[in-house]
Amino acid sequence: MTGRARSFGRLAEDYDRLRPGYPPAALAAVAGDLVVDVGAGTGKLTAAVTRSGRRVVAVEPDPAMRSVLADRGLPGVEVVDGTAERVPVGTGTASAVVYGQSWHWADPVAAAAEARRVLVDDGVLLQLWNVPDLAVDWVRELNRIAGLPDVAPEVRRSELPGFGAGEVTRVRWEQTLGAPDLVRLFSTFSRVSTREPEDRERMLASIRSSVEGRAVVAYPYVCVGVMYRRS
């Protein structure tokens, strides 16, 4: 794992409080009883999956993130240490393997092989990303200030060995935040949190001044999903 991939744990509490969850429509492809959530972090996607009553094995390598997730005490959830490349789940047991904002941290070939191993015959691999809605001018401007990419990561990877063609879905939705929390939200992005302190503070000050005068912000996302069926 790279430095940025390991950067989340020290921000685990803020991450959990400020990062968005997932809209139910983005999980339409998830069926069956057992779901494996890989790179589960503090459980934002895990919580969304359990709302439909499914059992979840939440796999997360970072102990600080795992600890926040375990403390949530989500019903039907087993929290385990592991990675996308080494998923500690039995062969042919899961109906879906899901990755919320985490696929891009994995080695795609090794992760696809592991997902294929744990899935039942017609199981699905679902990757999700909450991407700021870049069609909105002020959102695009905040993204530019924070040095975040202006395309969804999945656009660059569309074929996985052992799976059929990826099907892309897009669900528009909003997260309502106080303006100071929107600034803190940006400080949880690895591209921001891993900057030199002075540089990071300058960047956050610039974001703060662009939302000045607004008490509450409806921050728009497109939840991009790529679903692959095991072949």
Ligand X SMILES: C[S@@+](CC[C@H](N)C(=O)[O-])C[C@H]1O[C@@H](n2cnc3c(N)ncnc32)[C@H](O)[C@@H]1O
Give the footprint of ligand X on this chain (CB under 6 A): 1, 5, 8, 19, 38-41, 44-45, 60-62, 65, 83-85, 100-102, 105-106
| Pick 76 or 210: Cβ nearer ligand X | 76
Residue 22 Cβ vs ligand X, minimum distance, rounded to whole Å: 7
In b/e form, how buried is each residue of 176-188, taking b as 16+ CB within 10 angstroms? ebebebbbbbbbb
| Pick 26 or 211: Cβ nearer ligand X | 26
| Pick 38 or 217: Cβ nearer ligand X | 38
Residue 39 Cβ vs ligand X, minimum distance, rounded to whole Å: 3
| Pick 41 or 123: Cβ nearer ligand X | 41
Residue 190 Cβ vs ligand X, minimum distance, rounded to whole Å: 7
| Pick 17 or 172: Cβ nearer ligand X | 17
Residue 79 Cβ vs ligand X, minimum distance, rounded to whole Å: 12
| Pick 113 or 210: Cβ nearer ligand X | 113
Residue 85 Cβ vs ligand X, minimum distance, rounded to whole Å: 6
Residue 25 Cβ vs ligand X, minimum distance, rounded to whole Å: 16
Q: Would you say how long the chain is, in residues?
A: 231
